[in-house]
Amino acid sequence: MRTWRVGSFSMGGALVFLGVFLLLQQVLDWDPAVALLSWWPLLFIILGIEILIYLALFNKENSHVKYDFISIIFIGFIGTVGLGVALLQTVGLLDVAKQHISAEVKTVDLPKYEEAILDGITRVQVDTGPYPVTIESTTSKTMTMFGTYRGDVAKKGFPLKDVSDYALVEKQGDTIYIRLKEIPYNRYSGFSGQMEPTLLIPENMNLEVNGKGNSLALKPRNMQSDWEVANGGYLEIMVSKDTNVTLDVQNSRNLDVGNWENIKNVKNDYDNVIKSASKTIGSGKHTIVIKNADGVDIK
């Protein structure tokens, strides 16, 4: 009497195919996840072919079928793992794991923004978003923004390919509006990296900045206009021998008494701090108004 052990051939075939996939993965540099997702469905195909062969060739009265339960359990385990991997891929967790494992912490350059057509433009309005920004006046007639990003960069590269990927820039009337966007981040890790942009504006343009609580570095140099900065964190103002501005600080939360004039303190049971003050640098021809800052440091 012929005995057919269902499962033995399937396990042998599965091991052969697994070996072939692993070999090709090494030689052709396949993604291991792709190899796994392609390989495990073959287990069911092999087992189904084995049963069909038995039914076609050995389904006789003198034949006897016996199941190789160890092989079937092995195939079932591998199949369950494969289904689990397919489920992870469907919900996106597999891609997240791949990106996290393959990503490297790098510092890369942001796409550079340049605006040379500034006829009729007299004002720049900036929303810094969640990032610290350096703003500097320049003698150039071109507005420029550049910077760096430091964070996880996957093997497929940095996702920001164009200025519009990290900043909204609009020209309306006499104003250029710049709003920095939040860099895309993995919703499972919550880490979005750090962007540090620098904006150069022509020295004759007025500037309005919403700092959103972020640290800002201002370099007025020999600016020929007025600036207003609201809702900043700690502001660092770097002056030079050509700087001629009056700093007008309103409702600050932390000022060093030694650097300021026209000081107005707030005294109560909890605070005795400078809230408003001014400082003249050079001739003080132009004004930088600073509202609702955490603190201002002049360098």
pLDDT in tens, 134-186: 999 999 999 999 999 887 666 555 667 889 989 999 999 999 999 999 876 65
Residue 190 pLDDT exceeds 90: no
Which of 43-47, 60-64, 153-157 comes out lowest in average pLDDT?
60-64
Which long-range contacts link 14-23 to residues 24+ away (Cβ below 8 Å)? 14/42, 14/43, 14/46, 14/74, 14/75, 14/78, 17/42, 17/46
Tokens of 9: 């051939």
Task: Give the angle subtended at the CA of 116 by the CAs of 112 and 121, to the nearest 5°.
Answer: 115
Tokens of 296: 């201002």
Contact 10, 43 (CB under 8 A): yes
- Please provide the average confidence, as pLDDT, over all residues in the chain: 78
**Order of strands across the sheet with 175-180?**
167-172, 175-180, 123-127, 206-210, 227-230, 286-291, 245-250, 272-281, 261-267
* Cα separations in angstroms, 15 against 18, 19, 21, 50, 242: 5, 6, 10, 15, 77
Residue 1 pLDDT exceeds 50: no
* pLDDT computed for residue 142 by the predictor: 94
Domain residue limits, the chain:
2-91, 104-298
Q: How far apart are CA 109 and CA 91, in angstroms?
A: 32
Torsion angle of the four alpha carbons 185, 187, 190, 196, in this order, in degrees rounded to the nearest 10: 10
Residue 87 pLDDT exceeds 60: no
5 beta partners: 66
Tokens of 145: 């923004």
Residue 64 pLDDT exceeds 50: yes
* Cα separations in angstroms, 126 against 15, 135, 250: 62, 10, 19
pLDDT in tens, 107-129: 888 999 999 989 899 999 999 99
Q: Count CA atoms closer than 13 A to 288's CA, side-chain side.
A: 31
Q: Which residue has the tokens 């003050």?
A: 277
Task: Give the angle subtended at the CA of 60 by the CAs of 58 and 61, to the nearest 5°.
Answer: 145
Q: Which residue has the tokens 């603190």?
A: 295
The per-residue b/e assignment along 270-296, b for 16 or more CB within 10 angstroms, e otherwise, is eeeebbbbbbebeeeebebbbbebbbb
Residue 9 pLDDT exceeds 80: no
Residue 72 pLDDT exceeds 90: no
